[in-house]
Chains A and B, each alone.
Chain A
Amino acid sequence: MSLLEVRNLCKSYGALTVTDDVCLSVEEGELHAIIGPNGAGKTTLISQLSGQLPSNSGKVRFGGEDITRLVMPQRVRRGLSRSFQITSILPAFSVMENVSTAVQAREGSSFRFFAPVASEVALNDQARAALARVGLEDRTDARAGSLSHGEKRQLELAIALATNPRLLLLDEPLAGTSGPEAERLIRVIGSLKGEVTVLLIEHDMDAVFALADRISVLVYGRLIATGTGEAIRADRQVRSAYLGEDA
């Protein structure tokens, strides 16, 4: 049984179909990438899978459970987390607080009113571990809003990791980064392999082909192919529809 099973998922706005009958399965432990030209509906698909956007029809099963009707916080508590293409952090919080807030969500009740949360060792330790993983351990006390763009992308990833997901949906984690920043993020994502199942959306093709076990191609809301890197590279349909080559 696959960790994530998507069956006939659809999303449309009026006459505009953004997700068109998508079927997809993500196996436990794999790093599965979704590629496709701009406007293919990749972010919409991630939003549907994460529960941020309701779907018009179709089914989503996660770990054997039907989660189609669950909203985002419920899915996160079951181990399905996402990161955002456009950085979404808590700007007034420190880097540490951003991540330990995510740890707190799964560690015990948040209806505790009196004990100061800043001195909860268990939360901070786990947050520090997630920050160390993405290379932000030296910036724990900085205000998140004051970080550089690259650091914010690292923080975005650390927050998602801190929710302790079984499946991580990464929506263009490299967006807006380049050079050493991008390389560092690619290394971190690569290090997740075998530990966390990842569904990755990314425009950086080198990164995708280097990282992914399997790749699915989304064009105009339809999934036109799924396979290993070589298979996708060789697929005529993909080459014509996506890479713009004549078949």
Chain B
Amino acid sequence: MSPRLRNIAALVIFGGFALLPLLAGMLGESFLIVIATRILAFAIAALALDLILGYGGMVSFGHAAYLGIGAYAVAILQRAGITDLTLHLLAAIVAAAPFALVTGAISLRTRGVYFIMITLAFAQMAYFFFVSLSTYGGDDGVTLAARSTLLGQPLLESDRVLFYVTLGLLIVLYLLALRITQSRFGRVLTGTRENPVRMQAIGYSPFRFQLTAYVISGCMAAVAGVMLANQTEFVSPALMNWHRSGELIVMVVLGGIGNLIGAVGGAVIALLLEEFLSRFSEHWPLFFGLILIGVVLASRDGVSGLIRRIGGAK
């Protein structure tokens, strides 16, 4: 995707979201804002995943774990009497970083199929960890007493404010991710995806760069978890079910990997599709799955190739 096209897409998507509450107000459909906030939170997670999947070539099947870590950071701090959103975000990042560092360091000793399975296994480990926290409802999860506070005020209790805060975070993280991919670090990361041996032959040790990217990505996904917990006011291990990790990959791929804004668009497409299909049938995953298989099989060079062809780009 050319930089120009990407900027246009970003403007359209973010601009559209910014105007959404107006539309919802006119239609009198306030639930639109609720759905849109959920989409935005997932878009943050998809963006995080694209950073390592699209740019680093690391197919992580465990990113839902970071959603969970972020969400539980809210629940746990709240019980300790800490309600401030910025502190929740900080705690989520501080908790996600070491988990990403340790599991990433082990996963990155391996390649390909191994990497996929190991990230999946570690996410499942995190899942069981939170299932065992009986003080936080175990399997059933826990309902939050209230949303996080902002500047000491319960501002996020307004769906509209929560929506705009989430949108703001998404835009900031998008710009941050964009800068990272265009930096020295981003170039090494992308180069390693392209040809690791070549990168070693000019003096880079790929591991450190991949691991750093993995940690950054995990922390970003934890931010998404904080916002998701606030949106639903409910936290449970179901958030880190392996299906969730799969859905994040689906989002990134549907939107086109390796250009960041595609991941955001993919989150919109995937969740709207889910919303749409679930109106028709309680068995919507059947149709979602069929669409997924169809899309992959229909395109010889993969889903991204199909998107490229539909998009008419080279």
Contacts and interface: CB of A to CB of B under 8 A. Distances in A.
B243 interface: no
Contacts of A89: 195, 198
A53 to B, nearest CB: 12
B203 A163 contact: yes
A89 B200 CA distance: 12
Nearest to A82: B201
Which secondary structure dominates where chain B touches chain A?
helix
A105 B180 contact: no
Nearest to B216: A113
A50 interface: yes
Contact of A110 (B179, B200, B201, B204): B204
Interface string A61-80: 00000000001110011000
Given A81-B202, A105-B203, A114 B197 contact: no
Q: Which of B182, B188, B201, B205 has the largest number of chain A CB atoms within 10 A?
A: B201
Nearest to B180: A113
A25 interface: no
Contacts of A110: 184-185, 187-188, 204, 209
Q: Which of A71, A76, A110, A114 has the largest number of chain B CB atoms within 10 A?
A: A110
A218 B172 CA distance: 59
Which bucket holds chain A's interface residue count?
A: 35 or more
Contacts of A115: 183-184
Given A52-B197, A93-B194, A113-B179, A76 B203 contact: yes
A90 B185 contact: no
Contact of B197 (A88, A116, A162): A88
Given A89-B195, A111-B212, A76 B183 contact: no
A104 to B, nearest CB: 6
A84 B201 CA distance: 9
Interface string B165-208: 00000000000000110111111101100110111111111000
Given A113-B185, A114-B179, A116-B183, A101 B191 contact: yes
A110 B200 CA distance: 14
7 contacts: A52-B200, A71-B205, A76-B202, A81-B203, A113-B183, A115-B184, A117-B184
Interface of A: 50, 52, 71-73, 76-77, 81-82, 84, 88-93, 97, 101-102, 104-106, 108-118, 120, 159, 162-163
Given A73-B205, A109-B184, 6 more contacts: A72-B200, A76-B201, A90-B194, A90-B195, A92-B190, A117-B186
